Chain A
Amino acid sequence: MKFDRRRFLTALGVGAGSLYLPSLFGRGSRSAAQPAAAPKRLAFFITPHGMVPPQWQMRDPAALTRDHEIDLRSLAESEFSSIFRPLHPLREKLLILDNLTMATSIAESGRVRNGVGHDGNEHHLGQAHLLTSTWAVQRPGSTAIGGGRSLDQEIAAAVAVPGRLASRVYGVNHQHPYNFVAPNEPAPRESDPAAAFRDLMGLLPSGPTEPSAPTREDRLRAARGSALDLAAGEFARISPRLSGVDRDKLERHQALIRDLELSFGGGPVGGGVACDPSVTLSGDTVTRFAQLTALAFSCDITRVATFVVPHLTNADFGAPGHLNMHQDIAHNSTEDAGGYSAEMAGYMADYNRTYATQFARFCQVLDSVPEGDGTLLDNTTVVWCTELSTGTHWRDRLPRVIAGGNGGYFRTGRYVYYAPTNLEPFSWGRPEQVGPAESHLHVSLMQSMGIERDSFGLTDIPDANGATITLRGPLPRLT
């Protein structure tokens, strides 16, 4: 699937030769090809460190051995779990998933224990697998880094509008990247909202323009595509002389250039009923990136985004300044930890709840943009995920929240519990019954974006007895 975008372009009949008929009057006018239905979008909202299970879970403790669900719409605010309480206003648009497992990451821990690979650190493996679901790049003397194209990039490549942005990665670095364009090749991440805004500006519609004779500026702009065409030709000449990943990089580069050419051909400017290019950014970092994402989505500049949420300071969630978030609080927040205390679990829950507030705000910014009969959020799937399930490095019982639902694709307003199904060699070696693999959710997300695939990343892993756990197929009970 290396050249899906280019193939798409070719299918549209916009090969290199036809790109620069300077459609100088097109810029600024809305494309007639604007689809009637709102496009589907996908955003990942990633916070670090996991959560405190008893304080986010809302499962029925008497029904742990069977699948069950709870109607969120009928719950009062006080009936929401302590960590998810800030999400209550969004309850009709939520799908909370209880008991998924980062199965591939746990399986890699088993491989490292058996001498395959070098880095068994659960943070690193969680970060490497969260969006790739495949074996990390493991090298002696280096830490484990994502070993394949991440889900957001894979989906983006398939659904991108030619000439616009396939995806964006915003926010901070938690430790290692989550988003990858290729093995060990992180997708660049923009941490500065102003710079991120500049990246969108050239693609925003500039309002209706009267047809007039093209100015020199117009012609110069159109000719930028020609300079790209020349460069693309140089890439095409050189890449066959290389091999392996080097050639792959140059071929990808050439495809990206071909795509960018469209930006100067008159057709790529975003639009859409809800697009308001006059928006200015304000508020804290989370709000600004929410506004950026809303802008990019509503103007159909991109359809896939990731926001890696900034770290909190202790003051943000009311913990004393002398405590170290990672070492004092997170590591002592579940009862199996050597230094467990209810106080630390409490701070950890406060930390998680603060992120829940931020997630709610992120979603509410999208929800405040009307689109069609509903809102931008209704036509978007926002997935809140963490690289671990707890501050003590579990990777089963993952907390996962979906907001939006992609135009009704996902049935929201529900809390869905999955009974344990797989016997996995748990992180620390002991077999354990765990819930379904998150890989299935990845398949569901791809299918929700219109991509008919039945697997993403690894297709199967061994279970604790050497039998096979299949990772194919979507996650049941979502749609």
Chain B
Amino acid sequence: MRQLAAVLCVLAVACEGSISEPEGGPGGGVTPRMCRNADAIVLGSAPMRRLTGREWANSVRDLIGVPDLALPEMPPDATSTSSFDNEALALGPSELHVRRWEQAAFDVGGLVASDAGLRARHVPCGEADADCARRFVEAFGRRALRRPLTADEAQRYVDFFEGQRASIDFDAAVQLTVSAFLQSPQFLYRLELGSGAGRDGQVPLTPHEVASRLSYLLWESMPDDALLAAADGDDLRTPSQLEAQARRMLADPRARPAVADYFRQWLHLDRVATETKLPELVPEWSAEVAQAARTESMLFAEHVFFEGTLGDLFTSRTGFVPAELAPLYGMSSPSLDVPVDLPAERAGILTRIAFLGGNAHEANGSPPLRGVYVLSRLLCTPPGAPPADADTSPPEPDPTMGSQTNRMLFEDRTSPDRCQTCHRTIDSFGFAFENYDAAGRHRTIDNGLPVDATGVAVGLGDDATPFDDAVGLQRLFATSDALHDCAVEKWFVYANGRLPEAEDACQLRALQDEFADVGGDLDELVVRMVLRPEFLLRPEITEAE
């Protein structure tokens, strides 16, 4: 028993209690921050961003103009379930990446050289034309590097092209030059070197660097021709120019998968995809069902982003229900393409199968997992690391106690004071979802007894507020400042590729205020982020960095 006594001491001073998996949620969010001068522009760090696997694939496809171009799969980028894929610190070169990028670059180059349509599109001249190398290099290079080439730079690629043409042939020169562009640092990384001299340690980005900030934020891909043209014309400078571009890009179909992908990460919608359920309890569960649950929540979140507000994310009954999910929702007919209203007991993202089935055990829902999820991903207040000896198994009913609900079992489990330090808060949220079982099916009776999903929400505002069930709890979320502030912080982390820093205090506060002003309109929030003065700046690069 040597460790147990010590555990008790630790628990007395720290709230520890999350279960098995760290659920910090992408971006974390517990840096102490205070804005001292709201009018000052203070910059946090601007780490160089390597393209994520997804950004790389999107960029290659957009660059070549073949949306369904087959590309090698890249290994996953996220360090853990509590980080976004695009966290700059975790993204660097590796032997594996460099080799797969090379192979793909060579293959794509071959395609451009050999496919008549692509050749015509990307090589604006023929072998016999004078200066064809230069015309090709300048046109293709500008799109590949997301900015016009400098004269020296263009000359290096032209020399390379002519060298390969002389030693092999024109087609080889096209193929290898494309390949070289796709392996250049300007393609694989987002280099923000800024333009000209800085002032007070701040450097304005070039218009093309701004264009890439926009396109990777909104599309997870390279700028399109219109955006590049705007950058060429220095038309990404004023708020109205930026706003027009942001709105144009949000209306483009490319924004939709990018937005859905953001929610996939923030809300950890992948989690459900690998969940299994006891077949004797949930015969309708399968890998396909789990996958469909993930997709359904992504579609719903995407819909809310474009059509609604953060509040709608927690109150809307709109669903896109594929055939696999209809039985779990108790719906007689699926409706994937046309949005339908889910049954009345379903409102908001937290009454969907992805969240409920993803944060559950095989046989029953897990109030602690669901509560920790709320705290860390939605309120940006992740509980501390779990104590090693916490019994985190699903509690087994004690036959001598008579019939007990899942909630009663968990209440009994976490009743000791040392557990309550954290579980008072965790479970107050977690029990709200007791109307939904391991697979997210609705229930009013659990183990023969009526379900109790009532609770008191703490941490949403000044007062502890009672609620009846998950629908009621989410109604509180829909108007909670704490939740809105957290949502802004998550977007901020995603947009900047890094955790918040002390220097971000005023910018974050301002965005949170603006988000409140626009009533929690999510696409409006993204537009406001683009309109911040910080969006056009980076801190000066110094040796001491």
Q: Which residues of A contact B (CB under 8 A)?
A: 113, 118-122, 124, 137, 139-143, 145, 165-168, 173, 175-177, 181-182, 184-192, 195, 198-199, 202, 216, 219-220, 223-224, 226-228, 230-231, 233-235, 238-239, 241-246, 249-250, 252-253, 256-257, 259-260, 321-324, 326-328, 331-332, 336-339, 392-393, 426-430, 432
Contacts and interface: CB of A to CB of B under 8 A. Distances in A.
B179 interface: yes
A124 B386 CA distance: 11
B40 to A, nearest CB: 23
Closest 10 CB pairs of A and B: A141-B28, A428-B6, A253-B93, A121-B385, A393-B388, A188-B75, A327-B393, A246-B48, A328-B393, A231-B183
Given A141-B382, A143-B82, A185-B89, A427 B388 contact: yes
B87 to A, nearest CB: 8
B38 to A, nearest CB: 23
A337 B389 contact: yes
The residue in A166, A189, A250 that gathers the most chain B C-beta atoms within 10 A of its C-beta is A250
B17 to A, nearest CB: 12
Contacts of B278: 321-322
B26 to A, nearest CB: 9
Nearest to B94: A188
Contact of B392 (A166, A176, A256, A327): A327
A230 B185 CA distance: 11
A307 to B, nearest CB: 15
B97 interface: yes
Nearest to A248: B92
B306 interface: no
Contacts of A189: 75
Interface stretch (B166-174, B217-225, B351-359, B506-514): B166-174
A249 B90 CA distance: 11
Interface of B: 1-7, 9-10, 16, 19-22, 24, 27-31, 47-48, 50, 72-76, 79-80, 82-83, 89-100, 102-103, 105-106, 153, 156-157, 160, 163-164, 167-169, 172, 175-177, 179-180, 183-186, 188-189, 191, 193, 278, 361-363, 380, 382, 384-386, 388-394, 499, 541-545
The residue in B10, B47, B48, B362 that gathers the most chain A C-beta atoms within 10 A of its C-beta is B48
A252 B98 CA distance: 11
A322 B362 contact: yes
Nearest to A246: B48
Contacts, number: 242
Contact of B380 (A141, A176, A226): A141
Contacts of B93: 249-250, 252-253, 256
B441 to A, nearest CB: 18
Given A122-B388, A141-B31, A428 B7 contact: yes
A111 to B, nearest CB: 13
B168 A142 contact: no
Contacts of A118: 30
A140 B389 contact: no
Contact of A336 (B3, B22, B363): B3
B92 A223 contact: no
6 contacts: A118-B30, A119-B385, A120-B385, A234-B153, A337-B389, A430-B6
Contacts of A142: 24, 28, 82-83, 499
Nearest to A120: B385
Contact of A243 (B386, B388, B542): B542
Given A121-B385, A227-B176, A219 B157 contact: no
Contacts of A242: 48, 191, 541
Contact of B79 (A186, A253, A256, A336): A186
A175 B19 CA distance: 13
A176 B80 contact: yes
A223 B185 contact: no
B168 A219 contact: yes
A356 B6 CA distance: 33
A223 B172 contact: yes
Nearest to A164: B95
Given A145-B79, A185-B89, A219-B168, A253 B98 contact: yes
A226 B168 CA distance: 12
Contact of A226 (B7, B157, B160, B545): B160
B284 to A, nearest CB: 18
